[in-house]
A and B are shown apart, each in its own frame.
Chain A
Amino acid sequence: MRALTWHGKHDVRVDTVPDPEIINPRDAIIKVTSTAICGSDLHLYDAYIPTLKAGDILGHEFMGEVVETGPRSTLKKGQRVVVPFVIACGSCYFCGKHQYSACDNSNPADNQDISEELWGHPAAGLFGYSHMTGGYPGGQAEYVRVPYSDVGPIVIPDGVEDEKVLFLSDILPTGWMAAENADIEPGDTVAVWGCGPVGLFAVQSAFLMGAARVIAIDHFPNRLALARKFGAEILNYEDSKIYDALMEMTGGIGPDAVIDAVGMESHGLFADNVLDQIKATAFLGTERPHVLRQAIVACRKGGRVSVPGVYGGFVDKFPMGAFMEKGLTMKTGQTHVQHYLPGLLNAILEEKIDTTFLISHRMGLEDAPHGYDIFKNNQDEVTKIVLKPDMAKA
Chain B
Amino acid sequence: MTDSTPAPDPEARDDAPRGTTRSARPDETQQERGETALAARTITINKRPEDVYAFWRDFSNLSGVMENVESITVRDDRTSHWVVSAPGGRTVEWDAIVTEDEPNRLLAWKSADGADVSNSGRVEFRDGGPRGTLVTATLAYDPPGGVIGKLVAKLFQKEPGIQQRRDLRRIKQFLETGEVSTSSPPNPAPKA
Contacts and interface: CB of A to CB of B under 8 A. Distances in A.
Interface residues of B, number: 29
Interface in A1-42: 17-21, 23-26
A91 B165 CA distance: 20
A17 B123 CA distance: 43
B150 interface: no
A17 B184 CA distance: 13
Contact of A109 (B169, B188, B190): B169
A112 B186 CA distance: 19
Interface stretch (B27-35, B51-59, B171-179): B171-179
B75 interface: no
Interface string B150-188: 000000010000100111011011001111111111101
Contact of A137 (B67, B167, B172, B183): B183
A21 B190 contact: no
B90 interface: no
Contact of B166 (A20, A26, A110, A135): A110
A107 B181 contact: yes
Nearest to A108: B181
A93 B131 contact: yes
Nearest to A17: B190
B177 A109 contact: no
A105 B131 CA distance: 15
A93 B170 CA distance: 16
B178 A109 contact: no
Interface residues of A, number: 34
A106 interface: yes
A266 interface: no
Nearest to B186: A23
A18 B181 contact: no
Contacts of A105: 169, 172-173, 176-177, 181
The main secondary structure of chain B at its interface with chain A is loop
A125 B157 CA distance: 21
Given A91-B176, A93-B44, A93-B46, A106 B190 contact: no
Residue from B131, B162, B166, B177 whose CB has the most chain A CB atoms within 10 Å: B177
A96 interface: yes
A89 interface: yes
A109 B183 contact: no
A72 to B, nearest CB: 7
B17 interface: no
A111 interface: yes
A26 B178 contact: yes
B183 to A, nearest CB: 4
Nearest to A24: B179
A211 to B, nearest CB: 36
Contacts of B180: 24, 108-109
Contacts of A110: 67, 157, 166
A89 B185 contact: no
A23 B184 CA distance: 9
Contact of A148 (B46, B166, B177): B177
Interface string A81-109: 00000000111110010000000111111
Contact of B170 (A23, A109, A113, A148): A109
Interface string B97-137: 00000000000000000000000000000000001100000
B189 to A, nearest CB: 8
Contact of B46 (A26, A91, A122): A91
B191 interface: yes
Contacts of A134: 181, 183
Contact of A25 (B131, B167, B179): B179
A255 interface: no
A21 B185 contact: yes
Given A96-B46, A105-B173, A89 B181 contact: yes
Interface string A205-228: 000000000000000000000000
Closest 6 CB pairs of A and B: A109-B169, A24-B179, A135-B183, A109-B166, A91-B176, A136-B183
26 contacts: A18-B185, A18-B188, A21-B185, A23-B185, A24-B181, A24-B182, A26-B177, A72-B178, A89-B173, A89-B176, A90-B177, A91-B46, A91-B177, A93-B131, A93-B132, A104-B176, A105-B169, A105-B181, A108-B181, A109-B67, A109-B166, A110-B67, A111-B183, A112-B166, A134-B181, A135-B183
Interface of A: 17-21, 23-26, 72, 89-93, 96, 104-113, 122, 125, 134-137, 147-148
Given A18-B191, A108-B180, 17 more contacts: A20-B185, A25-B178, A26-B177, A26-B178, A92-B177, A104-B172, A105-B176, A105-B177, A107-B181, A108-B181, A109-B67, A109-B167, A112-B166, A113-B162, A122-B169, A134-B181, A147-B183
